[in-house]
C-alpha cells in the first residue's frame, strides 16, 4: 500500500519591501532633476525679464521723483536790463517795436528820448498805442494816456512809469526796468530826474 506524504503548501513570494529613501537619495534626486523642456525655459526667461524691467522702472521713477525736489519750480522773468539800439535809430514819436519783447515804448520828443513801461497804472493791463488818436488806450477799463504816458481819461490814477535809460560805452541806449521813475498823484514828478530821460 502506497503511503502518501502530506504535501506542503506552496510558498508564495513575499512582496518586496520598499525601503525609505535616505537623505542622500533625496538630495541626489533634487539636484539631478532633468532639465525642463525648452518652451518652459523661454517662458521663465520672459517672466524674469518682465519682473526685472518692472523693478528697474520703479527704481528709476523713484530716483527721478527724489531728484525733482532739488530743482525748485521757478518762473523765470524776462531780463530787466537790455539794450535797444543807438539814439539815431529812433525818430520823433512813439516806437512800439519793443512792446511784445520787453513791454516798453520808446518815445522821442523835443526834450529827448525816454522809455515808458507799458503797464496801465489802474490794474496793470497793457495799453495800446493809437497813432490816429495820438494816445495810449487801455483795453481793460478805458484809461487814456497822452504820448508821454500821462493819464488824462479813465480810472488810471497816475501816469505810467518810465524806465531808467543811459548810454553805454558803445553809445547804445541801455534800459534798466528795475529802476523806474513815477509821478504819484499830487506829488513831485520824477520824469525829469537823471536817468529818466536822455537829452540827445
Whole-number Å distance between alpha carbons of 110 and 148: 12
- Condensed to tens digits (0 to 9), the pLDDT of residues 156-177 reads 999 999 999 999 999 999 999 9
Per the structure block, which three cell numbers stand in for 82? 537790455
Whole-number Å distance between alpha carbons of 116 and 159: 10
Kindly list the structural domains of the chain, giving each domain's residue range(s) and its CATH number in brackets, ordered by start. Answer: 81-181 (2.102.10.10)
Contact (CB, 8 A) for 147 and 131: no
- Condensed to tens digits (0 to 9), the pLDDT of residues 74-101 reads 666 678 899 999 999 999 999 999 999 8
Judge if pTM exceeds 0.85.
no
Alpha carbon distances (Å) from 148 to 25, 111, 114, 151, 160: 104, 11, 9, 9, 9
- ∠ at Cα 54 (53, 59), nearest 5°? 95
Amino acid at each position: 500500500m502506497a503511503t502518501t506524504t502530506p504535501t506542503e503548501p506552496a510558498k508564495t513570494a513575499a512582496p518586496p519591501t520598499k525601503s525609505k529613501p535616505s537623505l542622500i537619495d533625496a538630495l541626489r534626486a533634487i539636484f539631478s532633476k532633468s532639465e525642463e523642456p525648452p518652451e518652459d525655459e523661454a517662458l521663465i526667461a520672459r517672466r524674469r525679464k518682465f519682473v526685472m524691467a518692472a523693478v528697474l522702472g520703479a527704481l528709476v521713477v523713484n530716483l527721478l521723483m527724489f531728484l525733482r525736489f532739488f530743482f525748485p519750480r521757478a518762473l523765470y522773468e524776462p531780463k530787466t536790463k537790455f539794450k535797444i539800439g543807438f539814439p539815431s535809430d529812433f525818430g520823433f514819436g512813439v516806437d512800439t517795436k519793443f512792446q511784445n519783447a520787453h513791454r516798453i515804448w520808446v518815445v522821442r520828443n523835443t526834450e529827448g528820448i525816454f522809455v515808458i513801461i507799458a503797464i496801465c497804472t489802474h490794474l496793470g493791463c497793457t495799453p495800446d498805442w493809437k497813432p490816429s488818436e495820438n494816445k495810449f488806450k487801455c483795453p481793460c477799463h478805458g484809461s487814456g494816456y497822452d504820448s508821454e504816458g500821462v493819464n488824462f481819461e479813465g480810472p488810471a490814477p497816475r501816469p505810467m512809469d518810465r524806465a531808467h535809460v543811459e548810454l553805454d560805452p558803445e553809445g547804445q541806449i541801455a534800459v534798466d526796468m528795475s529802476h523806474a521813475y513815477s509821478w504819484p498823484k499830487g506829488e513831485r514828478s520824477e520824469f525829469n530826474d537823471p536817468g529818466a530821460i536822455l537829452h540827445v
